[in-house]
Structure 1
Amino acid sequence: MPDSNFNRPPRLRPRWSVETIDLPAPPPPPSPRPNTVWLQALLPIIAALLFGATALIGYGSWLAAVPALVLAVLSGGVTLFHEHDTARRQAQTYAEQQAVFVDRLTMARSRLRRLHEEERAARRYLAPDPVELLRIAGADERSRSPEPRLWERRLSDDDALELRVGCGTLPASARAVVASGAPADRRIDQVIAEYASLHQVPVYIPLLQLGSLGIAGPRPAVLGLAYAMLTQAAVLHAPTELRIGVIAGLATAADWQWIARLPHCQAPDATSVARSLIATEPQATESLLTCLLDELSRRRELPTNHQVPFLIVVDSATLITTHTALGQLLRDGGAHRFIVVVLTDDWSHIPEHCAAMVEVDQRMGRWTRAGEAWPVTPFQPDLLDRREVERLAARLATVRLNEIGAGHHLPRQVRLLDLLSALLPDDQPVPVRWQQQPAMSWHDDVPIGALSEGKPCYLNLNEQQHGPHGIIAGATGAGKSVLLQTIITALAVTHGPDRLNLLLIDFKGGAALAPFAAWPHTTGFVTDLDGRLAARAIAAISSELRRRKAVLRTVAERYGVHIENIADYRDLANRQRLEPLPNLLIVLDEFDEMARSCPDFVSALVRVVKQGRSLGVHLLIATQQPARVVSDEIRSQLSYFIALRLGSSDDSREMLQRPDAAFLPSQLPGRAYMRSGSDVRLLQVARLSGQANGPGDLELIGQRLIHAGRAYLDQLNWQPTPIWQPPLPSRLTLDVPSSDLHTVIGLLDIPQQSRQAPLVIDLRAGHVAVFGGPASGKSTTLARIVLELARCLSPDNLWCYIIDGDGRLLSLFTDLPHVGALVRPFEREAMVSLFRQLEHQVRERRARIAAGQSPGPALLLVVDRLAAVRDELRDAAGESDLSDLVRLARNGRDAGFHLVVSADRPADIPYRLAAQFTQRLALRLPDLNDYADVFGLRPAIQLPPHLPGRGYWLHPDEGLLEVQVALPVGSGDSSDSRELALAVRTQIAALTATTRNTATTLPPPLALLPEQLPFAQLPPSSYRDTTLRLSCGWAAEPPGPVYICLTPEAPHALIVGPRRSGKSTALWIIVRSAQTVEPSLRFVIIDGPRRSLHHLQTLPQTVRYVADEEGIATLSAELSGLRRNPTARHLVIIDDYHLCRERWRDHFTQSYSATPNLFQQLVELAQTGNEPFHLIVAAGITYADDPLLRALDSSRNGLVIWPGRYESGTRLLGLNLPLPEQRTSEQPPGRAILISGDEEPVLIQLAGGDHIKS
């Protein structure tokens, strides 16, 4: 019989009603009448008779009793009549209720009968008997062709693999019930019993649910039942949805020869399961079991809902013990749709792992599940003989199922290189189709596989054909990666790089797309996509769209034509020889992972694709689960769908609008459906073969295309525009030279322009702030700036000062000739001195600029970790004073001063200072909102923590862009601080060697106060122009000696300081230095109780030395005489004034006697100041009630020693103490502040007292 094609129509499936029929309750019988009715009738008569007897006795006559007797008779008669009438009516009512009950019961019985007949017919239809099965298959003696019911069951049906084993009795779906409490009635019991069960209906076993079955009994009956079950399985289930196999011994092989002709027993190929599923020899059995176990192992990783079931018949239970693989299949296969049916002669021989068992003979059978008892009611088994099943197998062998879009003889394997061989001739260096312009946008014969009879299947991306955007989908192992490679390869072979560009995006590692990265068509290869790279990819694609729009707009304006799309451009390009504008195919692999992890990227991509349709931008996405990720927005853009084997019917319906792709054979990778519009075709995807000992097809084609692409592009004198630049490296070295104050510090990523450019900081454009959390690369960035400037500028052109808050990398710059000083924040005094020295230099520069002169070398201050500076300058109230730095930043820019600062977070820089920074770099910050504080913009994605040097830069046109800061030197590893430090140290040494000897000027070092100053180094004091200048110490800003100046306006001085701060030493210095002044200068010394100045009494100029109360009294009497001597100038020195006041109170307090005491004379001297007398008083602290100290304090002339030791709020000599730069700082002996009227206070170091004593 010739083969015939069979179309499987949609299934028609009868249903039966599942109802509960309420039976009527029988009427209750009439209640029995009372038996006293005769007594009720006789009582009046008896009473009348008694009355008559009484009348007869009393009156001697019956006449008086006659009326009573008549009434009694009438009363009894009425009673009897009423009782009889009541009984008659009750009997009539009961008869009527019985009639209604019988009618309702008859109606219920009729409904139950119809329901039973309906269910019985439906069950017999759904589970046909063997005769009906042969007729359905067209295998009976009268049928010539199969009926439409052939292979009607689908795996998605709830009765899939429910196989009939015979006819028997089953509980009926329709139930008859009677209301509770209804009286018992035999007729109701008969109806309930009659319709409780269905008789002679199919008894079936749910094999797909059970997973295994044992059949036991005499050999003829077991074989007959097995034949009947296999016949039912083969007739009702298509070969694509059920595989049938038999494992038997040589002795029983003849019983199974017929089954080999069933199409269900033939594997689609020989790659994973044996060609035939029939094994009757030991070697064949082992081979088949090996293949089945391999398939079982593969299925463990796949969803089970749509795996094609295997129905394996094992003829003889002894084979289970002989082949251990069978035991494993029996034990584990059920969960993965491997159904094992074991045949044996007795149910006690059935293996223990069988989920159910059947015991059968020629007349009856019974079945039960494991763990349950045998049923009481048997069934009549279905039995077929070998002649009938052979006829069935012969008929089914000629039937071919029509699959969607396919004819027959679809090849099992197709090699892409065979389809492309004519397009890649060996004698031509360039593929044939590269030199042939397509009639439309694309060539229409791009082979991707084969249809029936081996005809090529072509992909046509032209708008009128398959369309520009498509999707391919396939489960794991279905061949999705192969299909993706096939499409890309076929397109690349048929279109040159001037016609096709590729942008390849893979969310994961990119293994499937990596071979194409070096092809001439590829303008971008994106892999390991995360949130940051996804945004970058969208920016790059959008940039390409803008470029294409600009090309079309520019050409239209140049030639005065209207260009709407890429086709119009190409028409003009062919006439005017314009540059090529290739189609851009964006390929996205692992789209489902991308959609879950980067939903914003998918939405943005759809928007871009909508815009790019007319610009030649095409999209091809690949996914495993399209039903989960293909939204309505995406679906509306797709025009062709290629579905390999899918994991669910929902996925298949998403791709094909029907579930067929879910049932493609798992053993045929590359079998797929292709839908475009309403046209659906079945194809075998072409594959790229691999070689065990050499390059595979893909590598060979790639090598040819790479070589051909070079020659072809050279011939065109044109190169494709790259769309995707590689991501910024995690470690960057740059050898881009800086110039003047333009410093190249890193690489800026500009995906909007598809390029990366050096990041240049122009110090002339403003101050620079670098923000970043711990280990983000701030110090490295500052080191890069300083080293780059040092490379291009000599110390003649750049002076640099550094405040190193980190104490690591920048500390190496001490030896760099350009660096004048490197200060640590905890060196508060040095830091403040640096600020003031820089302010002094700025003032000088501004003066030179005002005079029309050059300001001199650029002045650079680098501050690493400003928070450390703020903390060091914090006062007791917690406030930090950065006013010096703010002044420098604000006033120094026009004078060539440049500030570069790093901070851990934006809050570390106060607003007044932050406003001075016009160039800002933000490395990784702890919170996204921190970036908004820096730039006013909040990035969408946080920078990764493992990339030091990665940051954001605000581009004037493109907004926030990522930047990677380069290492300070071209070698060294940023992750190894020691290696980087060594490389920086080497570079600094090289710069030092080349610049120190050639530089004519070096930055002035920081003038710090010495911790000790020998008295011999002090210059002599002097007296000139009525000013007595007493040398006492050394200042740092500007560096040089300092003097206490006694003038007519400020003739006196006050020295204050804490206990043991060196006040007496200061007086020694002043007196000794005053020895060099004019000879007429005389000393009057009032020493305190400690006699600290007793060495000075031997000096020639000392005219009075007092240290006790008697001497003070004498001096008080002589002081008036000394004041009257105008020829001599006197210095009145008082030490330990606060002790003198306590010890000699009578002489150091206000006296109201007629003769003024010493205190009054001193106050008068301090207040007048027009005499040749000068008071210099040393005190611990001023007293508000002391007129002398108050007068001296108001003169604002003197010294404050150890100015950091005072409590907050102290005011001495018009100065609020402690000064910010002196708070909580450790101060060496002799550190003081010199105050001279309205001049700026000066921090000085007093000369040492040890030298004086010696």
Structure 2
Amino acid sequence: MSSPGARSSGRAGVAETAPALASTPVDDPAPDELLHLEDGWERPPRPPLPIVASTVPILGAGALWLVTGSILALWLAALGPLIAIASIADAARTARRDRRAAEREGARTRAEVMRAVASRHRRERERWWGVHPDVARLVESDVEVWRTHHDRGDTVVVGRGRIPSAVRVTGGRRDPRAGELRRRAAVLEDAPIAVPLDAGIAVIGPPVVSAAVARALVLQACLAHPPGSFSLLASDSDDEVWLERLPHRRVAAGRTLAFRVGGADGADAADIRIVRVGPGEPPPPGCAVVLRVDGPDRAQVDIGGETYEIRPEAVGRAQAASIADDLALRAARSFGDLGGDDRPVLLAELFADAGRSPVADGGLAVTIGRDRAPVSVDLVEDGPHAVVTGMTGSGKSELLVTWVLALCARYSTREVTFLLADFKGGTAFQRLAGLPHVTGVITDLDPGGARRAIESLRAEIRWRESELARTGARDIRDDRAELPRLVVVVDEFAALLADHPELQALFTDLAARGRALGMHLILGTQRTTGVIREGLWANLPLRLSLRVADAADSRAVLGTDDAAGPVSTGTERGTAWLRRSIDAAPRRFRVALARTEDVTAVGRSAQGPTPRRSWLPALPARVDLADLRMPAEGVGTAPLVVGLLDEPDEQRQRPAVLERHAPGVVFLGRSGSGRTTALQTLSAQRADSATWVPADPEAAWDRVAELVRAPLPAPASPGLILIDDVDALVGRYPMDYAGEFLQRLEDLLRGAGGDGAVVALTAQRLTGGVARLVDLAPRRILLATASRADHVALGGDPAGWDARAVPGRGTMDGIALQVATAWDAAVPGPADPPEMWHPRALTGFVTRRSPQARAALRAWEAAGAALIDLDAFDAGVERGSRTGRVVVVGEPDEWQRHWRTLALIRSDHDLVIDASCGPEYRMLTADRDLPPYCLTGRGRAWVRHAAGEPRRVLLPDTPAHA
């Protein structure tokens, strides 16, 4: 069939047949007879002027006048022109009548032809779809599946579009509407667009839509060609597991159809190629047909450089799985004796054969496949633990799914429950997650959750031991032990150990003690050599293997080389070998296929109560302090709650509290990790005694100095000192101030704890003296960090770093923690500015000539103070003439020269030193102690009087917020 769609150039009509498209003629696609349109009305030639008829009355009138001499006879001459006019009018009237009749006949003919065209197009379209059916028509008409059609050839329908029609319309000359009708008749809409199957098809487009279109092409080929026409090769994709159910995967044939995702890797040697490529990627070699999918109902097919618009067919995953299952069932019924043990086995058939009869002695016997007879395994009698090996694409995951589903179908939740671990992408067990027997599905997509779930098995072991001891039962078989068996199924055990090598000991311990406790392991792995250690291997007597790449792996599991070799063209996938400890040789069988409807049916018919979960839910992203309040042991002695601890190995979550006499706690983490929230949580619990050290360096200096000089009194509840971002705060001080500030904080930490007082710090990094503070705090809580290197630098375990940690998530003593949130926590406000200072009497002012100093002097002078230069004052000029408030102004080196005046003012008067003169402070005051810290360039100064300590003041004309 030649069936191109309309070219994307948009020109009218349908392009001529592209040679690359399939050409498979259909017998008599349309009736032979032509459809004929009536010709349009043709205007008749204009009639000649009736000269003779017009002249005769004129001549007669003249002759009559000559004979009679009557002037009235000449009026007869007027008949000539009247006759001429009447003849012309009559001809026009006749032409109009003929035209109207012709138009009515033409409209009637066109309507009849249009109906005939529509009818013939319908029949023609049905004939084409009968020759080239798509998936929908093949599924709808069961007789068309695997039916040989001599006109069909080896083609596949890529969609529906416009093709040339065999209907032809003739006639209609001089009718402008006939041309459009002829063009419509020549084009067949909504017809199948078929291309040669062996030309190679590349499907390019968005992943979801292109995947659905590619599924339709593969399924169409499998529906049209019976098993044996070709062997199906497919990528090992968890998204397309339905491919494994197709009978074409299990039959050897001369030709191969390769279905690949993401390129043509492995498809070069195939006879037929269907490749799905992502947007923007070039089509792989060997694909002459390129199908570019724009949406569910729009695509372009490119063949030999010509592009045509089509509407593709798409099939969903669930639909594909259902069709694949139907084909597998059809193949099993039609070719039951052809494939031997290689024919597809459906789990539903095994359910029907085995029934749901209970098993004696508390075993877990189920049928998981078929040889010449059903093949059953008993995890209790043949185990208690099992190992399943197989290379990628061998069907290992399908075997595990079948085994779990068979156990769920036959036993209630009182008898068996499951913990499923998938470490190959998280999709192998996804369809089993909703079964009542399954207590949880863990994947490698959540490393933290997977680790805590596995570690919860330690607590499960202890819980089962305590339950057996409580009831006096010896083991799980004792009637007094009302415990369901727990089966732990791991897909890709090697990947689990690669991420968490410390769990090897846990699985070894579980394997050793699991039989008595009713805990069983089913471990799936690609190979066992170098993965399963001897202590664990000795307790895995039930062994199954699918195809493995290395003969050594086959011998390790089965004792023979039977399972060694590549997965051939479909026939070996799903073929497994079973060897129990009592077997003299492995037994070969076909693993049963579990369909989606099997999972639904088992879930609907499950019996028993909701099973106990083996681990608690993960820590929430937010924990309210009100839910974690601890009861007080006495008046005001309730312990400080930090958050909620997660102990999966104990199967518990408990409040994280600070010891009563702990002197300090430090919270370490990046910005946004929840450090400030942690301090607010502590503050909310000691609202009457919490003291915040401000973030402002001046206020922080004063507050810490006060705490060191006069510790907190003993109020109703123990004191609490809170310092946020201590590393950033220390970094804002000059070196000498930073050292003094850190020393005072160390003194606070050393003095805390005895009376219940707690110093709580937060920091981002351990730099310099901050590390000493952290060492003095006995409790270190590590929150989220920006990188693994920062996590390790703060003392964390490299394996415990989590790049996706939510605010407040961290560790305390190596245990996962979520910091609590207090809704009523007090937030520290801004620090008060220093007092504005004005001279009261004789005052010395040490300053450098700066705009701020000049502004202060102007303000003092405006307020009535007298300003005297130091040189003039020392020389006695105006000393006696000035009384009241006098300000003696000089720079530091000038004051050093006039040491007598400096000593005079320093001994009995106020000495004001601008903060810009900080380096000369000690020399000018003869004081070894540092004055209160001042921000430079902000109009700060120190006022020192002989009778008191220096204090920080604000110079006039300086903004209060500066």
Band of TM-score, shorter chain:
0.5 to 0.7
The 3 A distance-change label for structure 1 pair 604 and 591 is same
Q: 1:1059 to 1:488 in 2, by over 3 A?
A: closer
The 1:459/1:906 distance shift into structure 2, 3 A limit, reads same
**What amino acid is aligned across from residue 835 of structure 1 in structure 2?**
V
What's the Cα RMSD here? 5.5
Partner in structure 2 of residue 469 of structure 1: 385
1:659 aligns with 2:562: yes
Q: 1:949 to 1:1235 in 2, by over 3 A?
A: farther
Find the aligned partners of 1:878 and 1:798 in 2 and give their Cα distance. 27
SS at match of 1:467: coil
Match of 1:457 among 372, 375, 397: 375
TM-superposed CA distance for 1:941, in Å, is 0.5
SS state of the match for residue 830, structure 1? Answer: helix
Q: Structure 1: how far apart are the matches of 2:429 and 2:225?
A: 34
**Distance 1:1133-1:737 versus aligned 2 partners, 3 A rule:** closer
* C-alpha distance 632-906 of structure 1, shift in aligned 2 (>3 A): same
1:235-250 equivalence runs, <5 A: none
Q: Deviations over 1:797-837 (max 9, x none)?
A: 3555353xxxxxxxxxxxxxxxxxxxx33xx3222233345
Identity %: 22
Aligned counterpart in structure 2 of residue 864 of structure 1, from 716, 724, 730: 724
Within 5 Å, which residues of 2 pair with 1:28-427? 298=233, 312=254, 336=269, 410=341, 412-420=343-351
Q: Deviations over 1:445-488 (max 9, x none)?
A: 32222331xx33221223xx422221223455544333212211
Report the alpha carbon displacement of residue 866 of structure 1 after superposing the two structures with TM. 1.0
Structure 2 Cα separation of the partners of residues 279 and 625 of structure 1: 44
Q: Look up the match of 1:490.
A: 406
CA distance in 2 between counterparts of 1:660 and 1:1137 reads 100
Matched, 1:539 2:455: yes
Report the Cα distance in structure 2 between the residues aligned to 1:538 and 1:281, rounded to whole angstroms. 60
In the other structure, the counterpart of 1:594 is 496
TM-score calculated relative to the size of structure 1: 0.44
User: In the TM superposition, what is the alpha-carbon distance from 1:1132 to its structure 2 partner?
Assistant: 12
Over 3 Å counting, the alpha-carbon distance change for 1:526 and 1:285 in structure 2 is closer
Question: Rg: which structure is higher?
Answer: 1
Offset at residue 870 of structure 1 (A)? 0.5
In structure 1, the partner of 2:699 is 830
Q: How far off is 1:676 after superposition?
A: 1.7
> 1:928, 1:939 within 8 Å by CA — same for their partners in 2?
no
Are 1:685 and 2:685 counterparts?
A: no
Q: Distance in 1 between matches of 2:525 and 2:506?
A: 18
Cα distance 1:763–1:922, how it changes in 2: closer, same or farther (>3 A)? Answer: farther
Counterpart contact for 1:862–1:901, Cα < 8 Å: yes
Pairing 1:699–2:600 present: yes
- Structure 1 residue aligned with 2:627, among 705, 721, 736? 736
Deviation per CA, 1:69-109: give whole Å up to 9, x if none. xxxxxxxxxxxxxxxxxxxxxxxxxxxxxxxxxxxxxxxxx
Q: Matches of 1:898 and 1:313 in 2, distance apart? A: 79
Post-superposition Cα deviations, 1:974-1018, rounded to whole Å, max 9, x if no partner, equal: xxxxxxxxxxxxx78xx99xxxxxxxxxx99966532356x8xxx
Match of 2:594, SS? coil
1:338 Cα deviation (Å)? Answer: 7.3
Q: Distance in 2 between matches of 1:293 and 1:423?
A: 31
1:1011 aligns with 2:836: yes
Partners of 1:676 and 1:862 lie apart in 2 by 65
Q: Contact 1:861–1:900 at 8 Å: present in 2 too? A: yes
Q: 1:1004 to 1:540 in 2, by over 3 A?
A: closer
Paired position in structure 1 for 2:815: 961
- May I ask how many residue pairs the two structures share in their alignment? 658
Q: Which amino acid aligns with 1:676?
A: R
Contact 1:423 1:493 in 2 (8 A): no
Residue equivalent to 1:1181: 895
Q: Alignment partner of 2:407: what SS?
A: helix
Separation in 1, partners of 2:870, 2:670:
59
SS in 1 for 2:698: helix
- The code of the aligned residue for 1:751 comes to P
Q: CA deviation at 1:915?
A: 4.5
C-alpha distance in structure 2 between counterparts of 1:1249 and 1:865, whole Å:
32
C-alpha contact 2:720 2:758 (8 A) present in aligned 1: yes
Query: 1:884-899 maps to which residues of 2 (within 5 A)?
Result: 884-891=744-751, 893=753, 897-899=757-759
Kindly provide the CA deviation profile for residues 379-420 of structure 1, in whole angstroms up to 9, marking residues without a partner as x: xxxxxxxxxxxxxxxxxxxxxxxxxxx999658444434544
Contact 1:742 1:760 in 2 (8 A): yes
CA contact (8 A) 1:881 1:1220 kept: no
Q: Which residue of 2 aligns with 1:162?
A: none
Aligned to 2:951: 1243
- Whether the aligned pair in 2 keeps the contact of 1:1230 and 1:1246 (CA below 8 Å) is yes
Partners of 2:769 and 2:266 in 1: CA distance: 70
Q: Output the CA distance in 1 between the equivalents of 2:570 and 2:856.
A: 103
**Partner residue in 2 for 1:1107:** 877
Indicate if the aligned counterparts of 2:667 and 2:780 stay in contact, CA closer than 8 A: yes
Deviations 1:1015-1053 (A, max 9, x none): 8xxxxxxxxxxxxxxx67xxxxxxxxxxxxxxxxxxxx9
State how far apart, in whole Å, the 2-side matches of 1:682 and 1:489 are: 21
String of CA shifts for 1:525-565, please: whole Å, max 9, x gaps: 3212566455434432233334444555x55xx96xxxxxx
Deviation, structure 1 residue 635:
4.1
**Alpha-carbon distance, 1:948 to partner:** 3.6
Cα distance between partner residues in 2 of 1:778 and 1:332:
51
User: What is the SS of the residue equivalent to 1:944?
Assistant: coil
- Within the alignment, does 1:674 sit opposite 2:578 as a pair? yes
Q: Report the Cα distance in structure 1 between the residues aligned to 2:393 and 2:626, rounded to whole angstroms.
A: 48
Aligned counterpart in structure 1 of residue 666 of structure 2, from 769, 776, 785: 769
Structure 1 residues 644 and 1063, CA gap change in structure 2 (3 angstroms): closer
Report the alpha carbon displacement of residue 680 of structure 1 after superposing the two structures with TM.
Answer: 1.7
Q: Tell whether the 8 Å contact from 2:834 to 2:953 is kept in structure 1 after alignment.
A: yes
Partner of 2:317: none
Give distance in 1, aligned partners of 2:608 and 2:766: 51
Q: Cα distance, 1:1249 vs. partner?
A: 11
Work out whether residues 943 and 951 of structure 1, in 8 Å CA contact, stay in contact via their aligned partners in 2: no
**8 Å contact from structure 1 (residues 1088, 1107) kept in 2:** no
Choose from 807, 810, 835 the match for 1:949. Answer: 807
Give distance in 1, aligned partners of 2:957 and 2:589.
Answer: 105
Q: CA deviation at 1:871?
A: 1.4
Native 8 Å contact 2:644 2:817 kept in 1: yes
* Cα contact 1:1056–1:1180 (8 A) shared by 2: no
Q: Which residue identity does 1:920 align to in structure 2?
A: R
> CA contact under 8 A between 2:432 and 2:599: conserved in structure 1?
no
8 Å Cα contact 2:787/2:803 also seen in 1? no
3-state SS of the aligned residue for 2:540? coil
Matched position secondary structure for 2:745:
helix
**Distance in 1 separating the partners of 2:937 and 2:920:** 16
TM normalised by structure 2 equals 0.56
Paired with 1:896 and 1:670, the residues of 2 have a C-alpha distance of: 68
Q: 1:660 to 1:747 in 2, by over 3 A?
A: same
In the alignment, the residues of structure 2 paired with residue 619 and residue 753 of structure 1 have an alpha-carbon distance, to the nearest angstrom, of 21
Name stretches of at least 5 consecutive residues in structure 1 with no aligned partner. Answer: 1-273, 315-323, 326-330, 340-352, 354-405, 426-431, 560-565, 691-695, 714-718, 804-823, 850-854, 970-986, 993-1002, 1016-1030, 1033-1052, 1074-1084, 1094-1104, 1116-1130, 1140-1177
- Determine whether 1:448 maps to 2:383: no
Structure 2: 5+ residue stretches without partners = 1-142, 156-220, 238-248, 259-263, 273-285, 287-336, 631-635
Which of 598, 603, 608 is 1:709 aligned to?
A: 608
What secondary structure, in the 3-state scheme, does the structure 1 residue paired with 2:933 have? helix
Superposition pairs of residues 429-828 of structure 1, within 5 angstroms: 433=358, 438-439=360-361, 442-443=363-364, 445-452=365-372, 455-462=373-380, 465-475=381-391, 478-528=394-444, 532-533=448-449, 535-551=451-467, 554-555=469-470, 568-570=474-476, 573-574=478-479, 577=480, 579-602=481-504, 605-606=507-508, 608-625=510-527, 629=531, 635-646=537-548, 652-656=554-558, 657-660=560-563, 662=565, 666-667=570-571, 670-677=574-581, 678-690=584-596, 696-705=597-606, 708-710=607-609, 720=612, 722-729=613-620, 736=627, 738=629, 742=639, 744-761=641-658, 765-786=662-683, 788-789=684-685, 797-801=688-692, 803=694, 824-825=695-696, 828=697
How far residue 772 of structure 1 moved from its aligned partner, in angstroms, is 0.8
